[in-house]
Structure 1
Amino acid sequence: MHTGPEITAVQLPPDVAYFVDRDDEQSAVIRAVHHRRGAGGGTGRGATGNAAGRPLVVTVHGLRGVGKTALGVRLARALAGEFPDALRFVDLDDHRRDGGVETAEVLGELLRSLGVQPDWVEPAYAGRRRQYWARTQGRRLVVVVDNVRFGLEVEQLLPASADSVVIALSQGRLDDLKGGADLEIPLGPLGDEHAARLLRGLADDPRFSAEPAAAEALARVCGGLPAALEVAGEWLRKHRRRGLLRLAAQLTDELTERGLPVVEAVWDAAYGDLGPDAARLYRLLAVHPGRYLAQETVTALFGEGTEAAEDALEELERAGLLLQGRGGRPA
Structure 2
Amino acid sequence: MLLQNDDKILTIGLPCYNEENSLDTNLNNLFTIILNNSLMNEVSVLVSNNCSTDRTESICKKYRSLYPDIFTYVTNETNIGPDRNFHNVVKCSKSQYVWLLSGNDSIVEGALSRVLGYIREYKPSYIYINFIPDTTCVNDCDVCFDKETFIKSLKWRCSLISSNIVKKDLWLSFNMEKYFDSAWIHMGYVLELLNHFIQKTIVSNKIDIIPNICSQRNTWDKNGNLLLFGLNLFKMIDEYLLDKASIAYELGQRSMSIGYPGTIVHAREQGLKITKDTRLMIKKAMSYNKPKYLFMCLPVIIFPEFLFRFVNSLFHIKRKIKSKIKKLYCRFFIG
TM, length-normalised to structure 2: 0.28
Between Structure 1 and Structure 2, which shows a larger proportion of strand residues? 2
- Ranked by relative contact order (alpha carbons within 8 Å, sequence separation 6 or more), the top structure is 1
Between Structure 1 and Structure 2, which shows a larger proportion of helix residues? 2
